[in-house]
Structure 1
């Protein structure tokens, strides 16, 4: 039944891609349902229910990126390892992430929240290099952007379902801790899907005489010598910082600081609309942007982010219409995210030598670790600060978009000159 349903959906709505990509996408959808249950409510729960300060919660959330940075190095090396590979890395990631969600579910103090987030960072860090490398392995360059769009679509559908369900559950029960248990179960389901349906896609060169350790060291050194990749890393840290504010600081800001102090149901509705747009427009936007170079698509994403942050800033200024401005901002962020995700992943996959896709994907994922290491603590500190700092915070982020665009224009010229 699972296989029949999969074939019907694939044939009617999606591009012609390897069936394992769709299997991976379905597994990611199930996993992201659990993530949607917790993504927007973790800071609200630990500040408003447990009683931690916004700064301490920001530090706790940011701590996941400390272990995440280490795990991404391991994830890249494991994914490109002849002995380990992509599949085993994904399985290990899912099990560790499930354990992390259980720890967070029982946390009632700062130290336990830190432990849970350190484990979560470890699981996430192992996950991204492996899953991105699998997609690159199973596609040719001309189909890669759409392939990444399909997996991101699955992520967004899962988040959408999770956000809607969590908003309804919290409105009627207020049982925040149960959301983390559901998240743990979703990671275990994902592990089962991977174990039963995904084959190892890494195929080492039979002529390779290096040990995994030597190959890994040389691979990392080669990647860090790639100037186009380094330019993209700088850009990507800006992007991931922007997105960290949407997912961690913004829900708490709308709840406690924006005009009208949005209720959990209103926040859930707005973010549900946000994820709904990412579902509806993911494939159409990816196909539209396929006519542009990857850096040009990312410039569009950056511009939309800048306008979105200005709209969020307005919610703290106007006396009426604040829901409209918040909805507009989250709508712009939705299009920015779906413009960014497949373009960024495809750009990295195109830059990477075939034997180093895991390491290149790991470096791409490291940007998320750095962005989320900086973003939540900074956002928490801002919300604990003076009102004037809160008011200018979003405007300052919007201004920084100009730097991002300058780097992207430079990268675009370099890639055109080298015909990448």
Structure 2
């Protein structure tokens, strides 16, 4: 057992463990997103559609936040972006707890989405910066384990807190976000690789053209195609945060019962996620992703026949197995597809697929559930899983060719992150790494 633990956790950088610790603390208090749909429909008596609009506003804000956070992580730095987003999210989480009426709640959810989701690309880019490629599957599994240990505990604790006072959900969530912000402030250092130096101006008086920018990501057909598949996965997975609690409430099950059922997801991941790297080692990554997506679809599709706690729990067990297989492989592949000089932007666009899915999932799911019924909703989730699995198989070879080509280019040289410029030195003098060359269909336009 000791040897396995050393194999699973040994040799990872110190800064990774600070990120890991902050993730665990933050997730232990992540109450609001889990119970926001129940809060809106039961405490505030919103309809399913109105609740979907508030949840969707968070997703729209998140879409803006991820893009902004990705660009700032590359241009401003990982650490200042992370700190600004964390402190802002803590304040807005508390403000949302005191919001009243559809307009205030939607506006508060939107702003919270901007700041909370801006954390993600800076965090992910920092983790890619500090963890060598050979260790990333392990690192992502460990981080995912921390996320779900916190999730399992918070789902249960939030259920009891909601029975006492819904405001506690917002207070505790704000406090845990603030704790992560303080860890980032005290222990984390800047990790951004050196940026390309701007090219000389074409003519006197004309601005210089920079290196590759945000448009580079959107012109990367292989990467964008992969994110499109992930977007449809998110549409399915995020139903457990929006339409699933509503469906369980309609079957007469309490918020506390929903908390225990959804905690099965976190408990399974805590118990088994660290074994996943060994399980999938040596297997074709494309087939692993396709199988995982198929299992996710089957798990959510089973909800069409649910009505009791046992069947809902079985559904969670099935789609959690798919999630456990999908998450570390998916995250490591996205890291491999991200050129070093554009990691923040690539992670921002990756987070956009989650934010866009988070925005549309409650709106689409709430509409289907209200007008067509839960059975159509859950069988539709199963169909999406089948289609996405086929898409993974079809597009996998092109992704692996792209990842191999980027590996041949090698990582960017580390910059002077974490120290101020010396006398007479400017930031541009530090940024001496040449622009990353184009790779298989990736064009290099001016810096955005």
TM-score by length of 2: 0.83
Matched, 1:234 2:228: yes
**Rg bigger for which structure?**
2
Unaligned runs of 5+ in 1: 1-9, 317-321
Alignment of 1:139-154 (within 5 A): 139-154=131-146
CA RMSD of aligned residues (A): 2.2
| Superposition deviation, residue 330 in structure 1 | 0.7
**Residue 128 (structure 2) aligns with:** 136
Distance in 1 (CA, whole Å) between partners of 2:56 and 2:210 is 31
Runs of at least 5 residues in structure 2 that lack an aligned partner in the other structure: 202-206, 405-448
Match of 1:114 in 2: 106
Cα gap change, 1:251 to 1:205, in 2 (>3 Å)? same
How many residue pairs get matched?
395
Query: Which structure's residues are more often helix, by fraction?
Result: 1
- Helix, strand or coil for the counterpart of 2:29? helix
Q: Structure 1 residue 414: deviation in Å?
A: 1.7
1:299-350 per-position Cα deviation (integer Å, ceiling 9, x unaligned): 122111111122111115xxxxx22211111112222222222222211110
Which residue does the alignment assign to 2:54? 60
**1:278 matches 2:269:** yes
1:165 and 2:157 are equivalent in the alignment: yes
Select 1:17's aligned residue among 9, 12, 15: 12
2:65 pairs, out of 71, 76, 80, with 71
CA deviation after TM superposition for structure 1 residue 13, in Å: 5.9
Q: Which residue of 1 aligns with 2:425?
A: none
Alignment counterpart, residue 341 of structure 1, candidates 319, 327, 346: 327
What secondary structure, in the 3-state scheme, does the structure 2 residue paired with 1:292 have? coil
The aligned runs of 1:337-416 (5 Å cut-off) are: 337-386=323-372, 389-416=373-400
Corresponding residue of 1:300: 291
- Aligned residues of 1:231 and 1:407 also touching (Cα < 8 A): no
Q: What SS class does the counterpart of residue 282 from structure 2 fall into?
A: coil
Alignment partner of 1:189 out of 148, 157, 179: 179
**Alpha carbons 2:66, 2:118 under 8 Å: kept:** yes
CA deviations on 1:382-407 (whole Å, 9 max, x unpaired) are 33325xx3221110120121220122
Cα distance change, pair 163–406 in 1 and its aligned pair in 2 (3 A): same
Pick which of 284-293 and 119-128 moved more: 284-293
SS at match of 2:27: helix
Q: How does 1:198-347 map to 2 (within 5 A)?
A: 198-205=188-195, 207=197, 209=199, 215=210, 218-256=212-250, 258=251, 261-316=252-307, 322-347=308-333
Q: Secondary structure at the residue paired with 1:80?
A: helix
Distance 1:229 1:395 in 2: 29
**TM-score, normalisation: structure 1:** 0.88
Farther off after superposition, 10-19 or 44-53? 10-19
Distance between the aligned counterparts of 1:17 and 1:413, measured in 2?
Answer: 30
Instruction: Describe the shift of the 1:214–1:76 C-alpha distance in structure 2 as closer, same or farther (beyond 3 A).
Output: farther
**Residue 369 of structure 1: how far off its partner (Å):** 1.1
Question: Which residue does the alignment assign to 1:6?
Answer: none
